[in-house]
Chains A and B, each alone.
Chain A
Amino acid sequence: MSAIAVTTTVNGDPVQFLTDPGETLLDVLRYKLNLMGAKEGCGTGDCGSCTVTLNGRIVCSCLVLGAEVDGAEIGTIEGLADGPNLHPLQQAFIDHAALQCGICTPGILVASKTLLDRNPDPSEEEIRYWLAGNLCRCTGYDKIIRAVQAAAATMRGA
């Protein structure tokens, strides 16, 4: 087994790491780059709690090999806020009590950010289907959907 050198960009910062061929991007982020915000809820792409962006698309980082991301641009929950200033989605999630235990929250925020980048005024149905791969067991999703709607309104300046 030989380690592979990877050069990539995470949250806009240049990053280099060595990875084993079988190592997932999630494990690289968590244990090589100390970015613990993405969580492993299932390891099989069924829960979405490890969601990150890869070249502008959301992916389950548990279903990406570290070796694959050479030259890519990766975005994680740690890059969502602008320094100490929360992203409107983050603020909306706090204001609307859209989290209970919070384990699914990083993945849902990253996924929602990408949705609003593509569609600044999504319908309830569009939000629900976009987030169908982000399991939340605490909230029943109601307050999550409302928080995304509220953040979208804020970002539109409405």
Chain B
Amino acid sequence: MTMALDQQPKRQFKYVGTRPPRPDGIDKVTGRAQYGNDLVAPGMLWAKILRSPHAHAKIVSIDTSAAEALAGVKAVVTARDFPAIEGDAGMRDVQLNCMADTHVWYEGHAVAAVAATSDALARQAVKLIRVVYEILPHVTDVDAAMAPNAPLVREGQAMENVPAGMSANVTYTSEFGHGDLTSGFAKADLVIERVFKTAATHQGYIEPHACLASMSSDGRGELWTCTQGHFYFRTACAAILGIEASGLRVTASEIGGGFGGKTQVWAEPVALALAKKSGKPVKLTMTRDEVFRGTGPTVTTSMTCKIGMTKAGRITAGEATLRYSGGAYHTGTCDMGAMAGFAAYDLDVVRTYGWNVLTNRPKEIAYRAPGAPQAIYAVESTIDELCQKLNLDPLDVRILNAARKGTKSSYGVVFEDIGLLEALHAAKTHPHWTTPVAPGTSRGIACGFWFNFGGNTCVSLNIGTDGTVSVSEGNPDIGGSRASIALMAAEELGVPYETVRVVIADTASLGYNDNTDGSRVTFAVGLATIKAAIAAKTNMMARAAQVWGIDPEAVEWVDGAACPAGPNAGKFPPMTLAEIAANSFSTGGPIAGHCDFQADGAGVSFGVHIADVKMDMETGKTELLRYTVFQDAGKAVHPDYVEGQMQGGAVQGIGMALNEEYIYSDKGTILNAGFLDYRIPVASDLPMIEAVILEIPNPGHPYGVRGVGETPICPPLATMANAISRGIGARLYELPMSPPRVLKAIKGA
């Protein structure tokens, strides 16, 4: 019996790779599924947060007495209700972001909150809170924040690696890469250096943050919330409130989108503090306006990219400096951009620099491949411009330079099996690429990359006495993961998909699970499920061996049943999982498998996108005619949902490219905090998005699975920029490429 995970990924599947209905489908098409805002409790209060109208100010005083005196108001909290966290600067920042104490650092920063017997009363009560501010100079533009004499956002935030003489708003720098730049650029026939800027964009999930909190005087609490990671939320809420984590049970509701934006606490600690103070359950739901003003967008960036290329199209050296700002806080997002920017290429000489800059903007939080789309936009645009100037085919140049197995990546790691070349070759022979570009239209292509994560994972798999299977896992299902996990359990156990039920356990019922992020769930939770299934199978084979009176080593698992392994083991008919389960009370009790581990070996994923556009040369408007995504999924467990990730990620990237941006007034306030003027793509903006899945198995997973969620947001920015620049005969260096900017570029061309 060899039950260790094979190093060679499995290639023959019965269930994995099929497209069955998702287990939560009926709940979600009938309106029964319960999301963050869908739970109510007897005696519940309604909460409302008061937010700063100023981009940067000192809080002189807060007078809550009038709000407290309003009939129906049961609790008011301010920073005084949150004991200051010591010894963990990162968590202290999270705490200060949930509730400002001495300063507000951006418009929308929470300063107080109220719980009252109705939503209307809570809204009335926050208006009665009197906050005296001393307004301070603000800065929202990343380049302006680095200029001499820029307003100082926060004092004393610079880390040890910031060189002397830099703006005090620079808090962190990093450097990656290898090779000698001078000789690398010297080998090039053409070197160009370009400066790019990208606007902050919001994750734009349709479900606003919402939670229902209750907390007793003994410190025991319950939190129901829409989250990408209820275990982290428990940790953060406990730290921010100064309570024991074990006292708090967090249950993840169904989640109406996150894309990284629900990996961090915003309102939840505030709701818990109000519940603690009032002694009653508290419902706190953000408005859309609050979501835009008060929760995390992406970084806003300014980037310099320099690339040298030979006449034959070989890149001789690449260098990029990424100036990222994620608001008034430290973020490591510039690291990820600096590592990802050139990852698609096999380069002898590459150097990237990341800078984190403070501005008076909301605290950045991860958005699908955080930091990567922007850096990749700069690199892929610069490469495309070199191709244009050297009259080279942009796809052939990418094939010539593509990273492959054995390539030392720009961030130092040597790649294992990767699928970039396969994706590029698939693109080259695809009808989209082989169809000539129609007159009056233009075509762009770009590559993208994401690392993919594994991480802390805990799964329990229970065999029911009737032969059905339940899997308890700890990662909210944000896009069909229940289906893919059930498929992997069915595959490993050899039982029908329909007999497997997957539940998302609360924090009191299962060990810690990392957030649903980093494209980790299908990989890591799937791996844990396979391991738990193997443990259950081992148990079941031992039971069969006992019944047969043979050695457990002489039993193997075939098609959902224990069988004697080979002719020497004895002649017994297969004993099915259902038969073993039915006899479990007589053979030793309930049967389960468990896995708690740290999943490593998540394979990186590459994608290639092609776009055809038609430009209105008189208005600067872009019409997207055709879009194709090629991506390596390792093994597509449920291909529908893999395609869905590729399509959805691409469209988010198209939104970043065309219209999405935070627009600021000269007072540092946001002018477009709503879906009317923060323009995410609507159905009529788009063609069908063709998704071509490639399967180059990840050697780190028994089925070859790679994460797929994040890579597809990386290529579209440059894919669209490259298509537009070829269409209008001029290149834009700033995102979004909104019609006024495009028209200006046309006029200037």
Interface of A toward B, CB cutoff 8 Å: 20, 22, 27, 30-31, 35-44, 46-47, 49, 76-78, 80-81, 86, 90, 93-97, 99-106, 109, 124-125, 127-129, 131-146
Contact = CB atoms under 8 A, between A and B. Distances in A.
Contacts of B256: 39, 41, 101-104
A39 B35 contact: yes
A128 B683 contact: yes
Interface residues of B, number: 59
Contacts of B287: 43
Identify the 8 closest CB pairs spanning chains A and B, nearest first.
A37-B31, A103-B256, A140-B651, A97-B640, A102-B28, A46-B675, A100-B479, A77-B31
Interface in B1-58: 19, 21-22, 24-26, 28-35, 37-38, 40
Given A90-B26, A100-B648, A102-B256, 9 more contacts: A20-B120, A30-B38, A41-B207, A41-B208, A97-B640, A102-B33, A105-B28, A142-B643, A146-B688
Interface string B207-220: 11000000000000
A137 B652 contact: yes
A93 B684 contact: no
The binding surface of chain B is classed by DSSP as loop
Contact of A140 (B30, B285, B686): B686
Interface of B: 19, 21-22, 24-26, 28-35, 37-38, 40, 119-120, 203-208, 254-259, 285, 287-288, 478-480, 638, 640-641, 643-644, 647-652, 674-676, 680-684, 686, 688-689
A100 B31 CA distance: 14
B219 to A, nearest CB: 30
A78 B30 contact: yes
Nearest to B257: A101
23 contacts: A27-B119, A43-B288, A44-B676, A46-B675, A47-B206, A47-B675, A76-B31, A90-B29, A93-B29, A97-B22, A101-B255, A101-B258, A102-B33, A103-B206, A103-B207, A131-B683, A137-B204, A137-B648, A137-B652, A138-B648, A141-B683, A143-B643, A145-B688
Nearest to B476: A101
Nearest to A35: B31
Given A40-B37, A94-B26, A103-B256, A46 B676 contact: yes
Contacts of B28: 99, 102, 105
Contacts of A109: 29
Nearest to A141: B683
Contacts of B32: 37
Nearest to B646: A140
Contacts of A39: 35, 37, 206-207, 256
B675 A104 contact: no
Contact of B680 (A43, A90, A137): A137
Nearest to A94: B25
A81 B480 CA distance: 22
Contacts of B120: 20, 22
A129 B684 contact: yes
Contact of A49 (B33, B206, B683, B689): B206
A142 B206 contact: no
A20 to B, nearest CB: 7
A43 B285 CA distance: 12
B686 A96 contact: no
A31 B40 CA distance: 9
Which of B31, B255, B681 lies at the interface centre, i.e. has the most chain A CB atoms within 10 A of its CB?
Answer: B31
B683 A42 contact: no
Contact of B683 (A102, A106, A127, A138): A127
A39 B226 CA distance: 14
A95 B648 CA distance: 18
Given A44-B676, A96-B640, A36 B647 contact: no
Nearest to B288: A42
Nearest to B654: A140
